[in-house]
Each structure stands twice: as structure tokens, then as C-alpha cells.
Amino acid sequence: MNGARWSQRAAPFFFLAPFGLVFLVFTVYPLAHSVVLSLRQTVGTGVDVYIGPRNYGELLRDGVFWGALGRTVYFAALSVLIQLPIALGLALLVHGKGVPLRAIFRTTFFLPVLVGAVFIGVAFKRIYGVQDGVINALLVTLGFTAIDWLRDPAFVMNTLVFTGVWMFAGFNMVYFLAGLQGIPTELYEAATVDGANVWQRFCHVTIPGIWPIAAFLITASTIGSFGLFDLPWVLTDRGGPGRASTTLMVYLYERGFLAGDLGYAAAMGWMITVILLVIALAQLKLSRAWQE
């Protein structure tokens, strides 16, 4: 009897043990080790010295880090302000049951996110080309001057934003589509009976209905934008010209894996985590305030 009761109590721990082991090895240990690493100075495998919080102090005085942070915030802000309205527009476009070929449109809009960012970077290099790029060919045909989208510091970040919007608008469309399908049709019928026009139904029925999903996408897109690495690395040749498209992740990779200073890169990673935590909490608070 006692043995059966012990087995019953131990069963949940037995089934959770594999997950707990994997979580400890691949999540808790790396996080704890990165904290220790951020307090050390490393140069390749030959130098590994404890220096305390000096990496964090140097980070606060690092102009390249703050410049990369500004560019990353710029990319995140434009991505949210441009990408999400486009995603919502696409979702509204393919939501109606009377839309012909809507399954094909949904698949087509979603496809870019399935293509690897490296491949997209290589492909868009041809599209943005000064001499043979499609966009510049169109501009010249219309009488405008060709623009060096990838080497002009005034345009390069906007080029990354446009490419990011092309990649992820269809992906975010799927979330909005799910939200639209969850709004009861009775709400639209009641609003119509009350005399609401299309715009009023959109503002007072659609927006409140999809707001929880929109709030989630704002936070998720912001966090995802802070992880921007592969597009500037491939598309603009490692964050160029100069530092014009160097994002936080590109700079972190440079310091950690090219310069070999893993301690400084770990400190940078924790600084980015704190910044993201503050932004996410602020967005959550604003979202709840708007909803109330």
C-alpha cells in the first residue's frame, strides 16, 4: 500500500525529470554561466581574467554600442509602425469568405517568412543594385536618379526596414487573421443595425476584438527586431557602410566571436536583456491602460 502510494506521488516527478534535466543543462546553466562570463575579460582561449563589473562600465561609455542601440530602436519602431498595419490590411483583405482565391493569397503572403534570411539577403542585393537593380531601373525609367540603397548611410537602415517588412508582414497577418475569425459576427450585425458605417465598425468592433493579438505582436516584433543580425550581416556586408547599419546583434557578434571578448559580449547581452525587459513592461502597461 505504502509502495503504491509512493509510486503515485513519484510519478509526476518521474515524467517531469527529462524536461527538468534539459531545462537545467540548456537554459539555467548557460544563463548562469553568461552572468559569470560577463564579469571576466577574455581574449580567445589564452586570456581569461576576472575584472568584476568593469565590462558594464565600459559598455556605458561605448559609443558604438549606443549607436547600434539607436539603429536597432529605429528599426524596431519602424517595423512596428509599418509592418503591423500592413499585416492587418492583408488579414482584412483575405478574411472575407467571398474573396476569390483567398487560400492562394494567404499562402503567398505567408511564404516570405519560410525563406531563409540569408537567401533573402542575397536575393535583395540584386534587387537593390545600383546598376542592375530592379528598383533603380524603375526609378531611372521614371526620370529619377538611381540610389545606392545599400551603401548610402541615409538610406541603408530604411532598406533593412523595407526588407524586414517584406519578410514578416505575411507572418503577422496569420495572427491578425486568427483574431478576426474570433470576433463574433453578431457584433458586426448589431453595429450595422445601430447605423454604424464600415469605419465605425472597424474602430469599435474590429480593433477592440483584435487588440490582445495586436499588443502581443507589438511586443514580439520589438523583441524580434532587437535580434536583427542576418539581414545587415549579409545585405550590407557586416553592418556597413562604416557603422551605418550595425545593429546590437552585429556588434555583439563582432566583439564576442570576431574579437574573442566573450566577457564583453556577455555583458552586452545582459544589458540588452534589461533594456528589452523595460520596453516590454512599458508596452504591457500602455496596452492595459489603452484597453481599460
Could you read off the pLDDT tens digit of each residue along the chain, which spans 292 residues?
Answer: 567 778 888 888 889 999 999 999 999 999 999 999 999 988 877 788 899 999 999 999 999 999 999 999 999 999 999 999 999 999 999 987 777 888 899 899 999 988 888 888 888 888 998 888 899 999 999 999 999 999 899 999 999 999 999 999 999 999 999 999 999 999 999 999 999 999 999 999 999 999 999 999 999 999 999 999 999 999 888 888 999 999 999 999 999 999 989 999 999 999 999 999 999 999 888 877 776 6
The three grid cell numbers given for residue 206, joined into one nine-digit string:
474590429
For helices 84-93 and 207-226, the axis angle rounded to 10 degrees is 130
Q: Name the nearest CA neighbour of 211 among 289, 284, 291.
A: 291
Determine the Cα–Cα distance for residues 149 and 232; give it in Å rounded to an integer.
12
- How much is the pLDDT for 2? 66
| Contact predicate 153/241, CB 8 Å | yes
| Contact predicate 45/261, CB 8 Å | no
- How much is the pLDDT for 263? 93
Q: Name the nearest CA neighbour of 265 among 71, 68, 34, 49.
A: 34
Determine the Cα–Cα distance for residues 155 and 278; give it in Å rounded to an integer.
29
Q: What does the buried/exposed string (b/e) look like for 113-132 if buried means 16 or more CB atoms within 10 Å of the residue's CB?
A: beeebeebbeebbebbbeee
- How much is the pLDDT for 1? 53
